[in-house]
Structure 1
Amino acid sequence: MLETSKNTLDPSDWNAFRLQGHRMLDDMMDYLEHQRDQPVWQPMPEEVRLSFRQALDDGQHDLESAHQLFMKDVLPYALGNVHPGFMGWVHGGGTPIGMLAEMLAAGLNANLGGRDQAPIEIERQVVQWTRELFKFPETASGLFVTGTSMANLIGVLIARTALLGVGVRHEGITAGNRQLIAYTSANAHVSIVQAMDIAGFGSNALRTIPVDERYQMDIAALELAVAEDRKAGMTPFFIAGTVGTVGVGAIDNLHSIAELCERENIWFHVDGAYGALAMLAPDIAPRLQGIERADSIAFDFHKWGQVPYDAGFILVRDGELHQSAFASPADYLKRESRGMAAGSPWPCDFGPDLSRGFRALKTWFTLKVYGAEKLGQVISNTCTLAQHMKRRIEAEPLLELLAPVALNIVCFRYRSADANRINADIVIALQESGIAAPSTTTLNGQLAIRAAIVNHRTTANDIDALINAALELGKIASKNTPQAQP
């Protein structure tokens, strides 16, 4: 019998461990199967919160005990985005398939920074699929990252390199004394601001362009801002269009932005955090016309793609430029034509991470098992449900729609003389009821109840439950407040 290390962390009894592992897997499957029997969300008792403040002990607890603590103190108080009634933020619902794939990836424990290994081929397969989806050339590159926030930062850094050359990595962005300026919608995600900050340009170098009545970036205002900055001696270098704004789900006019970027030699980036995958839905994809002309696209498989967190992605038209923006030769990263150090270029040549998890596997499983057509149907259905919610709101005199329903986000409010306070109270009451979990946003100074329909489990009954509960809670919250006229 082969000797086992005295310091191994493997179980001493594999059969007992296997049985416990099956119990844990069964518990999670039960949790997913019976979501509707549970509240969407519930407040965490203070004693449970305090139980996570304990000092580090000797760690000598058996797996079963740790599992029971998870079932008792963690699972009941999760955010609830797997629940069909969760509509608070743009969070994907995940799938049992993705859960199993994540288990396989964890067991394999692959580091996808580099080396010649099959997991990297899985990631390259997904890169190929995204190239096909967005009609990018075969020379385009792609990379899994934590989420669109990181992907947006990578897009800014590649655009910087495209304009200033690879030397910017050594000389810095102040070399040549040029002030680079970027542009995005006033309704764009805060990660664009963060990207400019982290990249060293500063948030003041980002122009936020006003939006029109459909909450799309005003193209005339964008063109004027670019012209004025050039006249002032500045250098426009980056424009981020949005597909599915975080507030209302608006889609910027990508075709017009592409035309401007081509004419002015500006990098065209698309923040498609959740909206870009609408390309999978034939009835919605035409509304993304122009996305195929982007220089880079950032999006998340863990939102509309229903892949478990996290699985962000960036696709870059010019793969060679992408690599030149990040590749960092080092002795310990030496490449060979044979052996484990073959297979160059590696994923670490396209982003800041050398240690990288196997995010591609759960994405690959999701696409393989469900297929593009089924995922497209899920995306289309969430938009259909949003239209159902819109009709319900328009049919209720006490409710008011506050923004166009472009995709799957619906913003509305309960009519009241003190509407901002009343609607804030309604949202908290809805969340604490466990019936449904919307969030809030502010549109033109008005606080809105915001429902983001992303989960593949959500049905029209869940929409109706939210509307009915909002009406009831609105009546209670405004009982002592004079009502505005409908």
Structure 2
Amino acid sequence: MTRSVPPLGPSPDELAAAFARLVETALERAERGGEAPVIRQADPETLAALAAPPPAAGRALDEALARLDAALSSGMNTDHPRFFAFIPSPASPLSWLGELAASIHNQHLGAARQSEGATAIERGLIRWLAGEAGMPEGAGGLFVSGGSIANLTALTAARDQMLVEDERAQGTAYVTAETHASVAKALRIIGLTDRQIRVAPVDGERRMDVAGLARVIAEDRAAGLKPFVVAATAGTTNTGAIDPLPEIADLCEREGLWMHVDGAYGASALLSPAHRDLLEGVGRADSLSWDAHKWLFQTYGCGVALLRDASLLAPSFSLSADYLRDGDAVGADPNFWDLGPELTRSARAVRLWLTLQAMGRDGMAAAIAHGFALAEATERAVRETPDWLVASPARMAITAFRYVPEGLATDTADAINAAAARRLMEEGYAAVGATRLDGRVALRVCAINPRATETDMRETIRRLDGIARDLRGAV
């Protein structure tokens, strides 16, 4: 007796209707401007229903899609034109299309034999991005899920190249207080303890102080430790500061250290001819992390790890197993599963490839440059508003500021600044970040969305000012 197996997917008519619904949602979202709220909160009952176990008998696809749309429409809308908190992800509809195409074909990018065309796309983009970074022939890398895994990939290679196994307990890595938390997390994953993660001082612009770094390294060598890597930053999350990359490269060459650069969002400035010189020296790094899902306008899950010498990845990540022989590399280029932590890999690069094919290099450059102009407009608006202070000037599309009227106690001013940011977001007009600079609460704008305008920036400051004054009046 043959058992009846339920179909894996819907009928052709049901599938057509479902795709029509998704197309309608996509078009509505693409056309939506700033009139939608920057945040939507789901009610507890909806969240509880979403977290319930799946039904024993399947429900209608249309009903399931409606539930899914409600789930994905709640929370912070990070590609809203006025979402300025964190480092936003203003994804291009071109990226949606590229990701959808990759999902439909569902190719495995571990080995080139499994996905010849998508592998060619990824290899080509890796070569191009490495060249834009100023890396030499022989540089390479791979697409990963984002900056966290890019940092992990690069720092694993750094550890394995710079330390023998019995030196790992004495190995030391160098960061600053402004370094992204994912760097410290990666260092812990590869076996370093907190005492091995050394925090170098910063200068008045919150950049790594190279003279101070040299002193810490010398002290550690004198104590019998093994310095092996410096993690510089090209565009800090707090203020957009760029560490002095040429001077750090000089120091690393003198000291025999690996130079890693976390360029998760800031490396994208390399693609703007008007701004690429800000990252002078990045091509001398041994490794670079770069997120396409930030300032290259891709959907989440699209990052890059680049190495100055691509051959240094395989010693850390290559493997062999009988069941992998059918995917053995063809030609001189190794398979991607031998260059990073993943065996099973999706075609992450195709969405960026499609975006660049449609926008062109000039279009991408203009979109990146727009972010610089928006941050500068924000700084001007703050300077023109009484009782507001620029805490950090516009750099790399980020500026920070605070409300500091005369006579207001420091703690009270801090509370008002934080509360003003919360209320602005709750009202739905814009989301600005709240951070601490020099021990004081500061508000922070990261303006990388090409759909945002200078009018948006001025109105955001005007509304923050009104909220802050209302809060002060209630004190």
TM-score (norm: length of structure 1): 0.92
Q: Is the 8 A contact 2:184 2:197 kept in 1?
A: yes
Matched ranges for 1:462-481 at <5 A:
462-481=456-475
SS in 2 for 1:50: helix
Aligned-partner Cα distance in 2 for 1:366–1:240: 30
Aligned-partner Cα distance in 1 for 2:215–2:81: 44
The match for 2:255 among 255, 264, 269 is: 264
Q: Is the 8 A contact 1:435 1:465 kept in 2?
A: no
SS in 2 for 1:153: helix
Aligned to 2:358: 369
Q: Which amino acid aligns with 1:149?
A: S
Aligned to 1:127: 126
Matched ranges for 1:332-411 at <5 A:
332-334=323-325, 342=330, 345-411=334-400
Aligned to 2:108: 111
Aligned to 1:450: 444
Aligned-partner Cα distance in 2 for 1:59–1:278: 51
Q: Which moved more, 1:196-205 or 1:266-275?
A: 196-205
Shift of 1:25: 1.3
Aligned-partner Cα distance in 2 for 1:130–1:271: 15
Q: Is the 8 A contact 1:185 1:242 kept in 2?
A: no
Matched ranges for 1:177-216 at <5 A:
179-216=170-207
Aligned-partner Cα distance in 2 for 1:351–1:414: 46
Matched ranges for 1:310-325 at <5 A:
310-325=301-316
Aligned-partner Cα distance in 2 for 1:439–1:186: 18
After TM superposition, the runs of 4+ consecutive aligned structure 1 residues lying more than 3 A away are 5-8, 341-344
The match for 1:30 among 6, 28, 35 is: 28
Aligned to 1:84: 81
Aligned to 1:326: 317
Q: Which amino acid aligns with 2:155?
A: V
Matched ranges for 1:199-238 at <5 A:
199-238=190-229
Shift of 1:217: 0.7
Aligned-partner Cα distance in 2 for 1:428–1:209: 33
SS in 2 for 1:260: helix
Aligned to 2:265: 274
Percent identity (aligned): 34
Q: Which moved more, 1:289-298 or 1:50-59?
A: 50-59
Aligned residues: 466
Q: Which amino acid aligns with 2:432?
A: P
5+ residue gaps, structure 1: 482-486
Q: Is the 8 A contact 1:42 1:431 kept in 2?
A: no
Q: Is the 8 A contact 2:379 2:393 kept in 1?
A: no
Q: Which moved more, 1:380-389 or 1:402-411?
A: 402-411
Shift of 1:176: 4.8
Matched ranges for 1:131-210 at <5 A:
131-164=130-163, 173=165, 175-176=166-167, 179-210=170-201
1:17 aligns with 2:8: no
Shift of 1:398: 1.9
Deviation digits for residues 281-337 of structure 1 (CA, Å, limit 9, x no counterpart): 112111111001010000100000001111011000111111111101111122677
Aligned to 1:484: none
Shift of 1:17: 1.8
Aligned-partner Cα distance in 2 for 1:95–1:451: 20
Q: Which amino acid aligns with 1:30?
A: E
Shift of 1:377: 1.3
The match for 2:299 among 308, 314, 317 is: 308
Q: Is the 8 A contact 1:335 1:342 kept in 2?
A: no
SS in 1 for 2:399: strand
Q: Is the 8 A contact 1:194 1:203 kept in 2?
A: no
Aligned to 1:460: 454
Q: Which amino acid aligns with 1:102?
A: E
Deviation digits for residues 117-166 of structure 1 (CA, Å, limit 9, x no counterpart): 221111111111112211222311211111111111111111111113xx
Aligned-partner Cα distance in 2 for 1:372–1:109: 27
Shift of 1:75: 4.2
SS in 2 for 1:397: coil
Aligned-partner Cα distance in 2 for 1:304–1:351: 23
Shift of 1:55: 2.7
Q: Which amino acid aligns with 1:314?
A: A
Shift of 1:467: 0.5
Q: Specify whether residues 404 and 464 from structure 1 end up closer, same or farther in structure 2 by C-alpha distance, changes over 3 A only.
A: closer
Q: Specify whether residues 441 and 104 from structure 1 end up closer, same or farther in structure 2 by C-alpha distance, changes over 3 A only.
A: same
Q: Which amino acid aligns with 2:416?
A: I
Aligned-partner Cα distance in 1 for 2:130–2:379: 34
TM-score (norm: length of structure 2): 0.94
Q: Specify whether residues 141 and 477 from structure 1 end up closer, same or farther in structure 2 by C-alpha distance, changes over 3 A only.
A: same
Aligned to 2:97: 100
Q: Which moved more, 1:210-219 or 1:136-145?
A: 136-145
Aligned-partner Cα distance in 1 for 2:456–2:203: 32
The match for 2:39 among 29, 38, 41 is: 41
Deviation digits for residues 397-430 of structure 1 (CA, Å, limit 9, x no counterpart): 1211112322211111112521111011101101
Aligned-partner Cα distance in 2 for 1:156–1:259: 19
The match for 1:424 among 418, 426, 436 is: 418
Q: Is the 8 A contact 1:180 1:201 kept in 2?
A: yes
SS in 1 for 2:304: strand
SS in 2 for 1:303: helix
Shift of 1:115: 4.0
Q: Is the 8 A contact 2:39 2:428 kept in 1?
A: yes
SS in 2 for 1:306: coil
Aligned-partner Cα distance in 1 for 2:159–2:348: 27
Aligned-partner Cα distance in 2 for 1:19–1:336: 38
Shift of 1:45: 2.1
SS in 2 for 1:25: helix
Shift of 1:240: 0.8
Q: Which moved more, 1:296-305 or 1:448-457?
A: 448-457
Q: Specify whether residues 28 and 78 from structure 1 end up closer, same or farther in structure 2 by C-alpha distance, changes over 3 A only.
A: farther
Q: Is the 8 A contact 2:14 2:61 kept in 1?
A: no
Shift of 1:471: 0.8
